[in-house]
Amino acid sequence: MSAAELALWARIENLEPDAVPRALWEERSLIKTWAMRGTLHLLPSSELHLWQVVPGLDRRYLRPAWLTYFGITAEELERLTAAVADALDGRVLTREELIDEVSGLLDSEELGAKLRFSWGSMLKPAAFRCLLCFGPSLGSKARFALPESWLGGLQRVDDDRAEREVTRRFLGTYGPATRDVYAQWLGIARIRAGNLLKALGDDVTAVHIEGTPAWALTGQLEGISESQPPGSVRLLPAFDQYVLVASRDAPNFLPGPFSDRIYRPQGWLSPVLLVDGRMDGVWKYERKRSRLLVQIEPFVDLPAWARQAVEQEAERLALFLGGDLDLRWIAS
């Protein structure tokens, strides 16, 4: 959650410190759930179905290898998913409470107990079908809800329209992008990602990035070709979407062979110092009583304007997180 909040802080000026939890648990304008790549995301509540169409249609959890690995049949998974939705209707339950309710509904403790699998493996199929989301935690215990009842209704989108809109939004944010990058971001097969890109027809144009085939929104081509570095500096948190999308083309976003400093084992993505869109370093922060210790480790010598902008970003971070800034520069 801290990474999610900082990802929004990095993009929204004057974001209030309590804005994200308030949007999640009071206003319910944001919703927390498993989505792209089967990982946790915060999504606009009004667009939940839009973003879950592609993972929901992928149905990779019905493949024989997946079912065999988790020791469940397709029919059992369907019953389990339906029981999860029934158990959560109008209620917010911890995992143990959900297991008890589902076990009773199915008259099978063995099947209900499969919801204990780590990383939410048996809960994700329900999430992809908009039948499960996170509710406010109870102490350290996560709780779950049925989106339909949690949000007081669900805005649904035609499947084909949703696929086109998600693809268009991705290219609008990260394009030009290759088919493989889009497939990685969504967590789907490359062939399917290519078909989704081609389905946009004249709205997209095939381009090349240093000889690599890619796609861009046709309406953005002129702006892309004429764009100049904006002179921007941002402190991006761990697991940031920008860093994730850049992974397959990391050399283009780095000032040298520093990829292993950012893309670390077990899928860990380091917090990144972004200068004019290039990943020019890493950083971290730590609370020490009333101080907020922020350590910046550039990969290269930064120009004076960038160092000044980093200091301003660190001040903005201290204001958001609360604490007196203690900024330190670390030599690589």
pLDDT at position 46 is: 97
Q: pLDDT tens, 78-95?
A: 999 999 999 999 999 999
pLDDT at position 266 is: 86
Separation of alpha carbons 203 and 183, rounded Å: 19
AA letter at 98: L
In CATH terms, the fold of domain 159-226 is: Arc Repressor Mutant, subunit A (1.10.10)
pLDDT at position 225 is: 86
Give the number of other CB atoms < 10 A from CB of residue 171: 22
The domain segmentation of the chain, as residue ranges, is 2-150, 159-226, 233-329
Q: pLDDT tens, 53-84?
A: 988 887 788 889 989 999 999 999 999 999 99
What is the SS3 string spanning the chain?
CHHHHHHHHCCCCCCCCCHHHHHHHHCCCEEEEECHHHCEEEEEHHHHHHHHHHHHHHCHHHCHHHHHHHCCCHHHHHHHHHHHHHHHCCCCEEHHHHHHHHHHHHCCHHHHHHHHCHHHCCCHHHHHCCCCEEEEEECCEEEEECHHHHCCCCCCCCHHHHHHHHHHHHHHHHCCECHHHHHHHHCCCHHHHHHHHHCCHHHEEEEEECCEEEEEEHHHHHHHHHCCCCCCEEEECCCCHHHHHHHHHHHHHCCCCCHHHHEEHHHEECCEEEECCEEEEEEEEEEECCEEEEEEEECCCCCHHHHHHHHHHHHHHHHHHCCEEEEEECCC
- Answer whether 79's CB lies under 8 Å from 86's CB: no
Crossing angle between the packed helical segments 159-174 and 190-198, to the nearest 10 degrees? 90
Separation of alpha carbons 64 and 286, rounded Å: 45
- At 305, list the tokens: 């304007």
Phi-psi region of 67 (alpha: psi -120 to 50; beta: other; left: phi over 0): alpha
pTM of the model as a whole:
0.92
- At 229, list the tokens: 């570095």
pLDDT at position 21 is: 96
pLDDT at position 247 is: 84
pLDDT at position 295 is: 98
pLDDT per residue of the chain (332 residues) written in tens, 0 to 9: 999 999 999 999 999 999 999 999 999 999 999 999 999 999 999 999 999 998 888 778 888 998 999 999 999 999 999 999 999 999 999 999 999 999 999 999 999 999 998 888 999 999 999 999 999 999 999 999 999 999 999 999 999 999 999 999 999 999 999 999 999 999 999 999 999 999 999 999 999 988 889 999 999 999 988 888 888 999 999 999 999 999 877 788 999 999 999 999 988 999 999 999 999 999 999 999 999 999 999 999 999 999 999 999 999 999 999 999 999 999 87
Q: Which residues pair with 168 in a beta bridge?
A: none
Q: Are strands 324-329 and 291-298 parallel, antiparallel or unpaired?
A: parallel
